[in-house]
Structure 1
């Protein structure tokens, strides 16, 4: 059993999302028939895939802090899926990615819709506009689902600051990511900062603290969950970085070496620059960010990364961060069942292949 399936959580999150989206579809259909495309695209994106890791971390953070199972809590943590959808729609547009989870990215989907319908203007511009607006809509809906989840006002009041800070962090992390690409900063320090704010905090630490806030956890529990969540979130992102270069497209749903074509200055790439001689650094710099990289080009860049020891260094970093996260769970007495599942979630987050 996948750890996100304990307490039937993935199915319950899916049910909460489906019920919410059914209501939103009714709202949209009452405004204009053209909005059926919007409802279809968000339904497909939110309901059609995803590991539900963020709701799982939030729910088990809640349970670790002593919270009792509650459908309102499940609905509240399901709101994280809309934050994730927003981030991915915008990220795919920024990176010019063609696919997400093996199907066209949202901006490509709407560009194709434009072309197929023979509409006026540029198809790519329409697709980009649609991706921005649908991503924004998902962010709006994340608020709405949290507030209509059934949590009492006190719990929502405790959750609100964590939820707001998380969304601020992921947005500024995304900006730092694009800023790093255009400035060509290849330092490990900057790559680690981007990883922390773009992904690590909103993937693990903030969801955990959201659950703890809903449960009204004492400070010592929140500190323990943060000590587990921050290093684990960084390890999760480093695994993502490795998969972005070395992952199997049949499993990841993204073309092989896509991160290299997009010019991402990840920890993996920064570690390669850090150890490369002039010739290797020049070759890596020349290929990074070239959308026309062939399969052979990707193989050559992969060989440089492996040859510099960057892949081994990244794998060691993942192992060290994961160990630090697991050790943090022993700091205070958390709920034993929740602690065991958090350990399983750590393995699922860092040893995944997609």
Structure 2
């Protein structure tokens, strides 16, 4: 298989579906509302690009791995980890929509409102449900990894644990930057981006594939470095799409990052420019409307920040491709990773 596939690997979806069916059946015996939590968690896992499973499976195959069952199970675990972190991210950001539809927190809050609960209580119920759903899915990740029948099981557990540890550092910094609780230089923002996205989305699935394929420490190190670069590139494009993207393609509101006051390199590049200073008071305003968001976007274009980010994306794409070509990896995997770097840099959703 290759990372060029546009649909999710069916066998990975089968593992995920079977896991959710088992958990929903167990939850049904405890409480209807808890079973609803698991059903909505299952729904939250639908509709994604399945980037992490595709990455893990393609790397496993290119490295000559012969344990397809373990690779499929690990791939499903990383998709559940992604879903868990999205659920937590939505709660932290106060978002109620994901992939173009109400997210888990939004669904529980809407149901509570329909049942006559007050607005504040309904919102709290939605947030608590989103938080708990993310918690149980993180536990589910380790439960799935525990099922691996491979000597690499412990190594994959440690890779998951390390990626979560690093990702939490990045998420904590991201929230702190947005609230003004932590000062944020451009270097701080770069470090946050590498921690928040690169570790669990790219480096960890690649390293897990290498562990299952018994590829050795040199390959693990190379994939860690390459994965971090790809993740940084992905987050650069993601930050642009968060402001200038099309909602029908990204599945997220293009007002969210502006309302949140999200500290990105795009904003860091703009901050000292006169065009941005004139509208900076609108940035981070929770009541931000479309017209004022358009003023912020116009300022980011006028001051050159958007152009600077595009230049940075091209620069890092070129560096990532050169480093991939120089890595001690099989030629087919190098080709796949170079192609992935180009798709990440050029994506619109």
Per the shorter chain, which TM-score range?
over 0.9
Q: What pairs up with 1:43-122 in 2 under 5 angstroms?
A: 43-46=42-45, 48-68=46-66, 70-118=68-116, 122=121
Q: How many residues align?
A: 347
Q: What pairs up with 1:180-219 in 2 under 5 angstroms?
A: 180-183=177-180, 185-219=183-217
Which consecutive residues of structure 1, in runs of 5 or more, have no partner in the other structure?
A: none
Aligned to 1:317: 312
Moved over 6 A (4+): none
- Identify the structure with bigger relative contact order (alpha carbons < 8 Å, sequence gap 6+): 1
Aligned to 1:28: 27
With over 3 angstroms needed to count, the CA separation of the structure-2 counterparts of 1:176 and 1:333, relative to structure 1, is: closer
Secondary structure of the corresponding residue to residue 122 of structure 1: helix
Secondary structure of the corresponding residue to residue 5 of structure 1: coil
Q: Post-superposition shift, 1:66?
A: 2.9
Q: Post-superposition shift, 1:33?
A: 2.4
CA distance in 2, matches of 1:343, 1:234: 15
* 8 Å contact kept, 1:205–1:230: yes
* 8 Å contact kept, 1:108–1:127: yes
Q: Post-superposition shift, 1:332?
A: 4.2
Aligned to 1:305: 300
TM-score (norm 2): 0.92
CA distance in 2, matches of 1:166, 1:260: 28
Q: Post-superposition shift, 1:342?
A: 2.3
RMSD: 2.1
Which consecutive residues of structure 2, in runs of 5 or more, have no partner in the other structure?
A: none
Q: Post-superposition shift, 1:44?
A: 0.6
* 8 Å contact kept, 1:99–1:105: yes
TM-score (norm 1): 0.91
Q: What pairs up with 1:250-329 in 2 under 5 angstroms?
A: 250-273=248-271, 275-277=272-274, 280-284=276-280, 286-329=281-324
What is the CA deviation profile of residues 225-265 of structure 1, one whole-angstrom value per residue up to 9, with x for unaligned ones?
22321111101001110000000112112222321111100
Q: Post-superposition shift, 1:16?
A: 1.2
Q: Post-superposition shift, 1:186?
A: 4.8
What is the CA deviation profile of residues 44-89 of structure 1, one whole-angstrom value per residue up to 9, with x for unaligned ones?
111x211111122222333343313612211112101111111111
What is the CA deviation profile of residues 165-194 of structure 1, one whole-angstrom value per residue up to 9, with x for unaligned ones?
001111121111111112273521121121
Answering whether residue 162 of structure 2 is matched by residue 146 of structure 1, we say no
Aligned to 1:5: 5
Answering whether residue 175 of structure 2 is matched by residue 172 of structure 1, we say no
